[in-house]
């Protein structure tokens, strides 16, 4: 059996590897085990199954003593199943991946390990992490986990999620500060315009789902009437998520909640500019998957949540690849592709493609309106020609 991870193929068999200065037979290296866990997560999400990991931390004396380490591992292998994967997680930690094992089954295995290895005189600590029980579905939008796994959850999820690289955070700070300075007149004009055409606040604050599924306050210029009914959009979002293969068309053309001039603001993405503050705060990045609304997340399948593996962005691969012409499934796949291929080149490319993409979207909208208007005028003319005159109706 082989585990495929990008272009890396890892053979699933007992190997001899050199770790900590001496040779240990039958366990995976850190890199190999991390790749297998990532593969297992993808497989688990696709097949809607579970898996668990036993985190076994040993003292430094045992970890650095070849004979004691080999003895410990030999006893450990006698207890675990043939289908389980044993390897180094870090210099003083072993991990056992339990494929297709729910939390309850992993607890039984953990108790068995703890009892038998303790009787042999080994000093170690054991913690259990179960996926998806301790992942997004159980966090409730907060950065916390059950007491069973809270000591090791972040330890394992660091290979699922990608913390923001230094180059990306530097680009965000420099880019957001520059944009806020250059666009300050536009901020002032938009704020005054909103105040003139609609009573209420200037900035609209909404909860959105960000990195690792944690909610944050998301800022926009208000383009809708105060106190509008969110259920109007909720039903629309639920439809395109569940159908997956229909274009994600916006409701703007017939949405009664939009204020005068709001459609233009939304088409030009002017309403999104306050998110530069989110970027400066670190809740968002200039580039990344768009943050969804909590009620949208409730309809997500497990594999959809991979878009939470990076910090959300103001623009992204989806926006410059067709945006509302694409389906929900296509958007998710583009987001996941971006998550797996973070690079300065990709971010800069997406940033430079964003403005042309916005202008193209505006132009297409204008052309569509003109076609609809022309079509409507032709229909009215045909109806006028085909309608019988008053004299004809009088003689009929």
Query: What mean pLDDT comes out for the span 283-299?
Result: 93
Percentage of the chain beyond pLDDT 90 is 38
Residue 215 reports pLDDT greater than 90 = yes
Could you tell me which of 162, 103, 106 has the C-alpha nearest to residue 138?
103
For residue 207, what are the β-bridge partners?
217
- What confidence score (pLDDT) does residue 12 get? 38
Judge whether residue 14 has pLDDT over 50. no
pLDDT digits (tens, 9 = 90+) for 48-66: 899 999 988 887 777 677 7
Q: Give the pLDDT confidence score for residue 142 in this predicted structure.
A: 44
Percent of the chain clearing pLDDT 70 (strictly above): 77
Q: What is d(CA 361, CA 172) in angstroms, rounded to the nearest whole number? A: 25
pLDDT in tens, 136-183: 654 444 444 334 344 455 566 677 887 889 999 999 999 999 999 999
Q: What's the mean pLDDT in 277-290?
A: 96
Burial of 333 (0-12, 13-18, 19+ CB in 10 A): middle
Instruction: Give helix 328-340 / helix 231-243 axis angle, nearest 10°.
Output: 80
What's the token pair of residue 327? 């389906």
Domains and CATH numbers, the chain: 2-157 (3.30.70.270), 166-360 (no CATH)
Q: Which carries the bigger pLDDT value, residue 191 or residue 90? A: 191
Render pLDDT for 358-373 as a digit per residue (tens, 0 to 9): 988 888 777 777 776 7
CA-nearest of 136, 86, 129, 128 to 111 is 128
Task: Report whether pLDDT(41) > 80.
Answer: yes
pLDDT digits (tens, 9 = 90+) for 226-248: 877 666 666 667 777 777 677 77
> Mean pLDDT, to the nearest integer, of 294-320?
91
Q: If you compute the radius of gyration of the chain from its CA atoms, what whole number of angstroms results?
A: 28
DSSP character string of 146-205: -TTTTTTHHHHHTTTS-PPPHHHHHHHHHHHHHHHHHTHHHHHHHHHHHHHHSSS-SEEE
Flag whether pLDDT at 23 surpasses 50. Answer: no
pLDDT at 312 over 50: yes
pLDDT band at 353 (very low <50, low <70, confident <90, very high): very high
Peptide bond into 132 cis (omega under 30): yes
Lowest-confidence range among 39-53, 197-211, 353-367?
Answer: 353-367
If one compares 238 and 270, the residue with the highest pLDDT of the two is: 270
């Amino acid at each position: 059996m082989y585990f495929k991870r990008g272009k890396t193929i890892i053979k699933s068999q007992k190997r001899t590897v050199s770790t900590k200065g001496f040779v240990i037979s039958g366990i995976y290296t850190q890199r190999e085990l991390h790749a297998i866990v990532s593969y297992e997560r993808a497989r688990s999400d696709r097949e809607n199954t579970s898996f668990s990991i036993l985190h076994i931390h040993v003292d430094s004396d045992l970890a650095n003593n070849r004979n004691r380490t080999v003895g410990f591992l030999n006893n450990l292998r006698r207890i675990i199943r043939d289908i389980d994967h044993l390897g180094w997680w870090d210099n003083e930690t072993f991990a056992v991946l339990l494929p297709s094992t729910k939390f309850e089954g992993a607890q039984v295995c953990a108790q068995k390990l703890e009892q038998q290895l303790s009787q042999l005189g080994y000093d170690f600590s054991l913690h259990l992490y179960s996926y998806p029980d301790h992942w997004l579905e159980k966090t409730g939008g907060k950065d916390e986990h059950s007491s069973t796994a809270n000591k090791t959850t972040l330890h394992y999820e660091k290979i699922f999620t990608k913390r923001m690289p230094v180059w990306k955070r530097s680009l965000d700070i420099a880019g957001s500060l520059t944009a806020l300075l250059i666009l300050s007149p536009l901020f002032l004009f938009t704020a005054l315009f909103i105040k003139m055409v609609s009573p209420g606040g200037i900035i609209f604050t909404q909860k959105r789902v960000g990195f690792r599924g944690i909610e944050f306050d998301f800022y926009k210029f208000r383009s809708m009437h105060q106190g509008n009914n969110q259920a109007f959009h909720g039903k629309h979002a639920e439809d395109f998520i569940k159908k997956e293969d229909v274009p994600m068309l916006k409701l703007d053309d017939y949405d009664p909640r939009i204020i005068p001039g709001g459609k233009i603001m939304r088409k030009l993405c002017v309403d999104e500019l306050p998110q530069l503050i989110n970027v400066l705060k670190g809740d968002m990045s200039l580039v990344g998957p768009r943050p969804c609304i909590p009620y949208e997340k409730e309809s997500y399948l497990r594999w959809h949540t991979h878009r939470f593996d990076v910090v959300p962005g103001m623009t992204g691969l989806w926006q410059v690849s067709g945006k509302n012409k694409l389906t929900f499934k296509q958007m998710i796949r583009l987001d996941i592709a971006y998550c797996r291929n973070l690079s300065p080149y990709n971010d800069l490319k997406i940033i430079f493609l964003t403005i042309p993409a916005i202008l193209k979207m505006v132009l297409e909208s204008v052309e569509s309106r003109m076609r609809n208007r022309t079509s409507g005028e032709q229909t009215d003319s045909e109806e006028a020609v085909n309608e019988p005159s008053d004299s004809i109706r009088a003689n009929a």
